[in-house]
Chain A
Amino acid sequence: MNMQISRRKLLKGTGALVVTFSLAGKAGEALAQAPAAAKPVALTEVDSFLAIDKAGKVTVYSGKVDLGTGVRTALAQMAAEELDVPFNQVSLITGDTQLTPDQGTTWGSLSVQVGGMQIRNAAATARNALMDEAARKLGVKREELTVSDGTISGGGKKITYAQLVGGRSLSLKVDDKVKTKDPASFKIVGKSVARVDIPDKVTGKFTYMQDFRVAGMMHGRVIRPPAFGAKLESVDESSVKNIPGVRVVKENNFLGVVASSEWNAVRAARQLKAQWSKSETLPDQAKLWEHVRNTKVVQDQVTSNVGNTAGAGMALASAGKKLEATYDFAINLHGSIGPSCSVAEFKDGKLTSWSASQATHTLRKQLAQMFSMPPEDVRCIYVEGAGCYGRNGHEDAAGDAAILAKAVGKPVRVQWSRADEHGWEPKGPPTLIDMRATLDDGNNVAAWEGDFYMPQQTAGSFLVPLTGAVLAGMPQKDDIAPGNVFQNSAIQYKFPNIRTVCKRLENTVFRPSWIRTPGRMQNTYANECFMDELAAEAKSDPIAFRRKYLDDKRGHELLERLVKLSNWEARPAAQMKQTGNILKGRGMSYVKYELVRTYVGAVADVEIDRTTGKVSVPRFYLAHDCGQMINPEGVKLQLDGNIIQTLSRTLIEEVKWDRSMVTTLDWASYPIITFPDVPQIAYDLIDRPNERPWGAGEPAAAVVPSAVANAIFDATGVRMRSVPFTPEKVKAALGTA
């Protein structure tokens, strides 16, 4: 009796309204737009993150979504561990603006590090409260209680979570300082639990965004201008008259078709005759780097400034051996295998948008602005699509679908074509980097300077404008959002004088956004190549040279383990080993991600065919320390992805264009790496269960281009300072062209 009173008091004390809400339950129901009850979504409420139903099943509500990375499994592991429930009792609802808390965009290798930790804290808070409540209900001291598989027991009595709270809200504030479980007692976290999505994905049972349908839905396609900036002059609707049930939608320079069947929409989009104005707004690709250098700098963002007592730029004026090098990194695609897709429905003045957006909460703001609606009237629901590797076209497709749905008064599904995706996805911007350094008489680094040319980032706003809205002339913030591309321009080494400056440019060639490892990949490429140049100049072993300037225990340990993993033999580059026509070398690279988290070290073995100029990477070695690993096999999958995707970028990927438009509109003109060219990879994953978990989705990509470039130098004595290292560039560098 007393206990009941105290519980009532407890609930009253929180001031929270206790509501019994019917759980949205399985993702399928949520997708079908089940009428959601008043479920809290504030980051401060436990109920925002967790619900326990009458059967004891746990639903985790996560603002972070699974972009095909397996994080759904990892987050469920963290929740199950902290709550002490079986793993298979936990399911997730993700990225639904009506049901899930806004945990920020799914980016930056932060889903476990930030999103998972919020869920862990919410789960620990819930567990604590449930233990207190069980102590009261059972009349047993809290210290005598233990919990296992969702059942609390002690003093010969037991009670389940379901009995304590099943189907009701917990009405608790998340305690950010809550004591979480001792890693020594982990049963689920740290284990390579099999991914929950794979059985359905390999049997065709899985519903991707591209498979998602709603009743009464029409199929839409967009017809983009043949040139950026072209104006729509006229449309000949009679040109599609032979295709049944086609409607043409025209809004300023936005042009689309809607049909009752997908193939009819495809045919209509291909067949529709439209007249566009001529537009030649793009710079000459052959002079890209001149163009970048001549673009107005709107901000000198100083990312590090050490020593330099004589003032900026003066360090290099001091005595010693001076080195300078300029590096560039081409414009890259995200290159999703499944082109962007979205379904939109307007009903009773409200918009529901289904998409594979990595940022449903941000997308909601953009869609609301487009249609001048209050954000509360827009619901964005995440449905997993093909991997996106950053902000690709998914959000743009959501805008397109909404425009078409509004125009025809029915739900519309928009599927982008391959050319839509290659041509119109926002792109990883071109990056140009000037490095300068001085070695003193003892071959010590006396000064280090870097200028990093990259587009500006609108302050505090990561809204990549939606293409459909821009073409249609609808309200849309005119932001430039390449992401936090300044990261890792500053370096991890301790030199007496350091100055790194990001030259933020007024604009760039194409609408930019963040591709995987944005900026960190390009900046680390320059930094770690230049570090290698200094080591070679000092005739020092590249690993020993780096360690001389490192005062970080975990960094040293990582490099020691990399030496063991790769059987690294200490020696200065370039060894220039040759077998017949094949030049062989190895190179290394190291990074501490954003200088504050995950450590990565890599060794690449390369072989270069002198005749063809082709660079092969038969073996790649990676040492990785991301602290506590939630799911080691999951980490390994992410690392495979980082290495192989970035190797593809390093060796072959480059967007091309003429003065009007992107010309690399398919996989033949913008190829990516294929099976025969994928390296054998060896790992040393350093597990630190007692440390906090850091991200693994991005950091390893940062070291790949420089490890390969440094290996090419070791093999040839030639520096490759322009990514990608195509056969043409390699032959030119070797003088064998």
Chain B
Amino acid sequence: MAKKQLTVNGKRVTIDIDDPDMPLLYALRDNLALHGPRFGCGLAQCGSCTVHVDGKSVRSCVTPLSSLNANQKVVTLEGLGTPNKPHPVQQAFIDEQAAQCGYCINGMIMESAAFLANNKKPSDAQIRQALANNLCRCGTHDRIVKAVKRASSMA
């Protein structure tokens, strides 16, 4: 068993790992008991596991721990905001009631937050394109686009 240091949601943490190539997702969910990033496919196909690494959206299910150093800033859905103090994108998802089962929503919010950081006033078509590789099975797409649009107008 080896030690690995990470910076997650602003805190330096040390975790025990058996495999240096364990995907980040398992460190976040199992070692750190976070619920935001979700296991959906393990293949970087659905986006449920999305987190930010140094502000960029990353699929944590295919990001080996060995590729990360302790100074890189990992942010999860929990690090973005809380029910009492939600991030503008989270607030917009609440305002638009943009979730059904909500399993994909972590990815939708993390992907959108990273996208909006560099695209202040996107069109609907640009939002749809930005989320084209995030899968939703419940059919919440239209509300998600509205929520991202709302968040962009609040920023």
Contact = CB atoms under 8 A, between A and B. Distances in A.
B99 A262 contact: no
B36 to A, nearest CB: 3
A458 to B, nearest CB: 28
Chain A: interface secondary structure? loop
B139 A338 contact: no
B90 A666 contact: no
A387 interface: yes
A339 B39 contact: yes
A641 B30 CA distance: 31
Contacts of B35: 204-208, 211
A520 to B, nearest CB: 17
A198 interface: yes
- The prevalent SS among residues of B at the interface is loop
A195 interface: yes
A650 to B, nearest CB: 13
Nearest to A70: B100
A172 to B, nearest CB: 35
Given A210-B39, A337-B46, A387 B100 contact: yes
Interface in B6-34: 17-19, 22-23, 26, 29-30, 33-34
Among A70, A203, A415, A674, residue most surrounded by chain B Cβ atoms (within 10 Å)? A203
B48 A337 contact: yes
Contact of B138 (A213, A417, A645): A645
Centre residue among A336, A415, A643 by max chain B CB count within 10 A: A336
Interface stretch (A174-182, A301-309, A560-568, A675-683): A675-683
Contacts of B3: none
Interface in A52-82: 67-70
A263 B100 contact: no
A57 B1 CA distance: 49
Interface stretch (B52-60, B66-74, B124-132): B124-132
Given A198-B93, A666-B43, A666-B45, A206 B139 contact: no
Contacts of B17: 263
A203 B81 contact: yes
Contacts of B80: 203
A335 B86 contact: no
B100 A337 contact: no
B97 interface: yes
Contact of A202 (B34, B43, B94, B142): B94
A194 B102 contact: no
Most buried by A among B29, B43, B76: B43
Contacts of A194: 94, 97
B27 to A, nearest CB: 9
A674 B90 CA distance: 21
Interface string A148-171: 000000000000000000000000
Contact of B83 (A200, A417, A674): A200
A13 B132 CA distance: 64
Contacts of A204: 34-36, 76-78, 106
B102 A681 contact: no
A336 to B, nearest CB: 6
Interface string A310-341: 00000000000000000000000001111100
Contact of A68 (B22, B30, B101, B134): B101
A201 interface: yes
B18 A640 contact: no
Contacts of A200: 83
B135 A198 contact: no
Interface string A206-222: 11101101000000000
Contacts of A205: 35, 78, 82-83
B125 to A, nearest CB: 8
B143 interface: yes
A201 B137 CA distance: 16
A666 to B, nearest CB: 6
A668 B80 CA distance: 30
B139 A202 contact: no
Contacts of B143: 637, 640
B144 to A, nearest CB: 8
B116 interface: no
B22 A338 contact: no
Contact of A261 (B30, B38, B46, B76): B30
B140 A267 contact: no
A203 B82 contact: yes
Contacts of A440: none
A675 B132 contact: yes
Given A205-B35, A675-B131, A195 B97 contact: yes
B117 interface: no
B4 interface: no
A667 interface: yes
A674 B109 contact: no
A69 B36 CA distance: 20
A641 B43 contact: no
A678 B131 CA distance: 12
A338 to B, nearest CB: 4
A418 B94 CA distance: 29
A243 interface: yes
Nearest to B37: A204
B133 interface: yes
A202 B100 contact: no
A300 interface: no
B142 A681 contact: yes
A386 interface: yes
Contacts of A387: 100-101, 103, 137-138
Of B42, B83, B93, B98, chain A has the most CB atoms within 10 Å of the CB of: B83
A672 B129 CA distance: 15
B83 A199 contact: yes
Contact of B102 (A68, A267, A642, A668): A68
A439 to B, nearest CB: 38
Question: Which 10 A-B pairs give the minimum distances between C-beta atoms?
Answer: A68-B101, A204-B36, A644-B139, A387-B101, A201-B102, A386-B103, A641-B139, A204-B77, A675-B128, A667-B45
Given A415-B39, A641-B140, 17 more contacts: A201-B99, A202-B77, A202-B109, A203-B80, A204-B36, A204-B106, A261-B30, A263-B26, A266-B26, A337-B40, A339-B39, A418-B40, A633-B97, A641-B138, A667-B45, A675-B129, A678-B139
Interface of A: 67-70, 194-195, 197-208, 210-211, 213, 243-244, 261-264, 266-267, 335-339, 384-387, 389, 415, 417-418, 633, 637, 640-645, 666-668, 672, 674-676, 678, 680-681
Interface of B: 1, 17-19, 22-23, 26, 29-30, 33-36, 38-43, 45-46, 48, 76-78, 80-83, 86, 90, 93-94, 97-106, 109, 125, 127-129, 131-145
